[in-house]
Structure 1
Amino acid sequence: MNHPSICLLLISCSLLVACSSNDVTRIEAEQAGATQTDQGRYRNAYRDIEYPDNCEADCYLPHPLVECQQPGENCQYTGDNPTTNLNAGFEITWLGHASFKIQSPDGQQLLFDPVSQQFDWPVNWAFRLSDGFNRNTPQWPDSEQLQDTAGVFYSHLHYDHFNKADVRRIGTEAEFFVPLDMASNLPRGGYRITEMDWYTQTSLGPLTVHAVPAHHFNSRVWVPFLYEDENRALWSGWIIEYEGKKLFFAGDTGYSPHFKDIQQRYGDMDICLLPIASYHHEEHGNWYRYVHTTPEDTLAAAEDLQCKSIIPWGYGNASWKMGDHSSHSALIRLLNVYPDSSRQIPLLILNEGETVKL
């Protein structure tokens, strides 16, 4: 190979590397951000948790507004949602499980924890081998609609919340917002990524983006005796603020005083997108609840946050039913305990694919 050919090859390789690298910005809190152990693992803000309420009886009585083909399965919510006077300007579409498409008051399209199909390979294969199943695929924005996305927000790395194939489908026009030390898990390809600590903020056009605590854990890879990454990356919730109106996305989380901390720092939340599922397990129920709110925990969290409206998620026909009795058991339990909540915060129930403007 002659010298010009070698030079051309080196230039081509350099351009390929440059084009494939991501542009990562890291925002750390000056004080009161997330903490790590000496081993570099992140930890929750609170360790010992006291739960304010617990449903003991008649938690899963069939509800007249949830019509199911089988008990708790293949259901539709048939009730009317309450009228609110929030005038917050957010248009919210629940895509299924934890995924939301939101149009902000200034017209930007935002995606939260977008997972359009199954788990990334090979975890989907392993899940199927361990008595799992392929979930029903939700209705999803087409490729042209995805190209209009301005911001993508991920709460953590678990496979039901983060999917590399969807990152590629969304493309490089959007800006990606992730918790600290998560950026390395996105595919290379010229993506703009902002990593954020708890209690930090940045801007997306006229929107203010706040990263806030969640009570959970984070992991992506586990190879016995060789490698694991448990809690090497942070987990977060998100607040999107526009002209004083605030939308809160909790991410996966258990109940803890962090909800009160968020309210004390940022004030009342206008719209709260809160999880209600994945808390049940016959053998390890205490652990599941520690990192996932029950419906009654969710109502307590909404009171702590002083939410003006609640949109629950995690249940549904496109759920994986991990930590649940059935696809809609969590929603049925929520509707059974809601009348006993101390503050009747407006509760807006969506079926997958439905949209509400608040």
Structure 2
Amino acid sequence: MTPRTLSTLVLPAALLAGCAAPAPDAPDSGKPHHTRAGFRNPDATGPIDKPLSALLRWRYAALRDGLPPPPEAPTPRIAPDLAALRANTSPGKPSVTWIGHASTLVQSGGLNILTDPVFSERASPVQFAGPKRAQPPGIALADLPPIDLVLVSHNHYDHLDRESVVELARRGGERTLFVVPLGLKAWMARQGITNVVELDWWDVHTVRGVPVQLVPVQHWSARTLGDRNRTLWGGWLVRAPDLHWYFSGDTGYAGHFRQTRERSGPVDLALLAIGAYEPRWFMKEQHMDPAEAVQAHKDLGARQSIGIHWGTFELTDEALDQPPRDLARARDAAGVAAQDFGVMAIGQTRWLPARNARQSLP
């Protein structure tokens, strides 16, 4: 097997499969999702384990069958309205801009908030191999408005990019706060990033009057062969006065969506992952498919949802442009209107109606 073939088989999958065992002696707080072997998922059934044999079976079949197929059309892209985004500095005019994959810029509560910022050419521990961007970010990092808050869902390379967060911290200084799941504060400190708050599931940190909460999702974490599930993962719930919104990060479908709604009420906007879902025998526990994302939209009681985590990096067996087509079919089957759950072009900004100022936070 040549090095190139080995890279084709293993490196993209390493971002998703986590074949190494966890390191021993993790702290155990007594909470159900904390164990001495690391963190585990909300239902307390343990980590999402796939043996190396399953990983190689998947990657070999994909190579043999020529998967993923090429997209029928490039991911839609438009020029960002940078002037409008920079001018939007006051609460009351919320917006969301899709930068690509799981990276979005959300303006709410007078804050500029980035989710899972990845601006590098590859989602990989190295920049000479691994999944490569299909197109540049919708907004270049240097063109962003001043960032107040960066929300990181977990430590996989397509969600936490070292070069991006280091540059954001350098540019933002004390203004830019990074809020991360448990265990990632130490990693950030090793990169020289110190303006960091780490949270456990259901913890809340308030930024300039805006509550930010880490909520459970079904996933896992790893950046090396020896740190599987040593740091936590999660979604984010932000309850700004002008917009209550949810960001899924990476997740399989499970009961945590209903639990989030039961504890915190419905949301105005949900940013839900709809890509990286084939083959289902390998991906189901860790990534939703579009039909499951539609159910998550309903579970959350979302007024509007936007599909993200597609069209940017080839990570799994579906074509880059397949998720929106599958989303349309799933939406129709579930009786969800197109305007209630759709997708955006990379670089596009959607301006959202502000919440009624008389409506109290749940």
TM-score range, shorter chain: 0.7 to 0.9
Question: In the aligned structure 2, how far is the partner of 1:38 from the partner of 1:189?
Answer: 28
- On the 8 A contact 1:143/1:170 being kept in 2, the answer is no
Shift of 1:135: 3.6
Correspondence 1:199 to 2:202: yes
- Whether the aligned pair in 2 keeps the contact of 1:119 and 1:163 (CA below 8 Å) is no
The reply to whether residue 313 of structure 1 matches residue 316 of structure 2 is no
2-side partners of 1:250 and 1:195: how far apart? 17
Query: What's the CA shift for 1:193?
Result: 0.5
Q: Which amino acid aligns with 2:321?
A: H
TM-score normalized with structure 2 length: 0.72
Structure 1: stretches of 5+ with no match in the other structure: 1-29, 49-69, 79-86, 223-227
**How far is 1:77 from its partner?**
8.7
Equivalents in 2 of 1:340, 1:190: separation in Å? 46
Q: Quote how far apart the aligned CAs of 1:167 are.
A: 1.1
Determine which of 236, 241, 244 is the counterpart of 1:243: 241
Quote how far apart the aligned CAs of 1:137 are: 2.0
Which residue identity lines up with residue 323 of structure 2 in the other structure?
A: A
- Given the alignment, which residue of 318, 323, 330 partners 1:325? 318
With over 3 angstroms needed to count, the CA separation of the structure-2 counterparts of 1:264 and 1:163, relative to structure 1, is same
In the alignment, is the contact (CA less than 8 A) between 2:71 and 2:320 conserved in 1? no
Whole-Å separation in 1 of the counterparts to 2:262 and 2:133: 41
Query: Whose helix proportion is higher, 1 or 2?
Result: 2
Question: Cα deviations across residues 180-226 of structure 1 (Å, max 9, x unaligned)?
Answer: 0011222443521000000110111021111101110000112xxxx
Residues 101-125 of structure 1 show CA distances to partners (whole Å, capped at 9, x for unaligned) of: 1111x32111000101234664443
Q: Does 1:351 pair with 2:345?
A: yes
The counterpart of 1:114, out of the listed 112, 117, 126, is 117
Question: 1:277: which partner in 2?
Answer: 275
Structure-1 separation of matches of 2:129 and 2:143: 32
Partner residue, 2:105: 101
Structure with a larger share of its residues in strand:
1
Instruction: Decide which structure has the larger Cα Rg and report it.
Output: 1
Segments of 5+ residues of structure 2 without an aligned counterpart are 1-28, 46-69, 79-90, 353-362
Amino acid at match of 1:267: G
Equivalent residues of 1:237, 1:248 under 8 A apart: yes
User: Cα RMSD over matched residues?
Assistant: 2.6
1:59-208 mapped onto 2 (5 Å cutoff): 71-76=71-76, 89-104=93-108, 106-119=109-122, 122-127=125-130, 132-143=131-142, 145=144, 148-171=146-169, 172-173=173-174, 174-186=176-188, 187-208=190-211
Q: Distance in 1 between matches of 2:346 and 2:143?
A: 20
Cα distance 1:77–1:298, how it changes in 2: closer, same or farther (>3 A)? farther
Q: How many Å apart are 1:141 and its aligned residue? A: 3.9
CA contact (8 A) 1:34 1:197 kept: no
**8 Å CA contact retained: 1:252, 1:292:** yes
Distance 1:122 1:268 in 2: 37
- Secondary structure in 2 aligned to 1:125? coil
| Residue of structure 1 aligned with 2:266, choices 265, 268, 272 | 268
- Provide Cα deviations, 1:253-276, integer angstroms capped at 9, x if missing partner: 000001111010001111000000
Distance of aligned partners of 1:341 and 1:245 in 2 relative to their CA distance in 1, 3 Å threshold: same
Alpha-carbon distance in structure 2 between the residues aligned to 1:101 and 1:327: 22
Distance of 1:77 and 1:333 partners within structure 2: 20
Counterpart for residue 53 of structure 1: none
- CA–CA separation in structure 1 for the residues paired with 2:142 and 2:201: 32
Could you report, residue by residue, the CA deviation over 1:14-66 in whole angstroms, capped at 9, with x for unpaired residues? xxxxxxxxxxxxxxxx99x6612232x10001267xxxxxxxxxxxxxxxxxx
Instruction: Give runs of aligned pairs for residues 246-257 of structure 1, distance below 5 A.
Output: 246-257=244-255
Question: Is contact 1:45–1:215 with CA below 8 Å preserved after alignment?
Answer: yes
Separation (CA, whole Å) in 1 of partners of 2:125 and 2:231: 21
Aligned length: 283
- Contact kept, 8 Å, 2:98 with 2:346, in 1: the verdict is yes
